Structure 1
């Protein structure tokens, strides 16, 4: 049977390093999910007012696509009747 001796200082230091790496990984993951991106997927650095305008623009684009679908469905219904 093999016995390995490790000092408490080394264990404490190793635990600190592992905890720091996990924390940094979580911060990176959170940042990559919440950072707004452009059409090519590159991150955008926006001021709060520009961010709100960009969010509204994206919402408006979704509304337009939904309205186009509703228009297409209604046109199909009118063509049948």
Structure 2
């Protein structure tokens, strides 16, 4: 990510702010004895940095937003779909 400002606090010309985001879902019971495998949700179905990585062997479940069928109501249905899987 490139900075949005220089050391002199002037805007950096010709650069857009990186809007890449991921969502991480963690789950456990109150005592911590039963922990679920974490979910990582990104925007890409198969991100370029993970192109040569076997996603099945990662210690997390990775899903891209295009994997989830949802309508105009947005991310709410993504989380509903995840909790039902």
TM-score by length of 2: 0.21
Report which of the two structures shows the higher radius of gyration computed on alpha carbons: 1
TM-score by length of 1: 0.22
Question: Higher helix fraction: Structure 1 or Structure 2?
Answer: 1
The structure with the greater share of residues assigned to strand is: 2
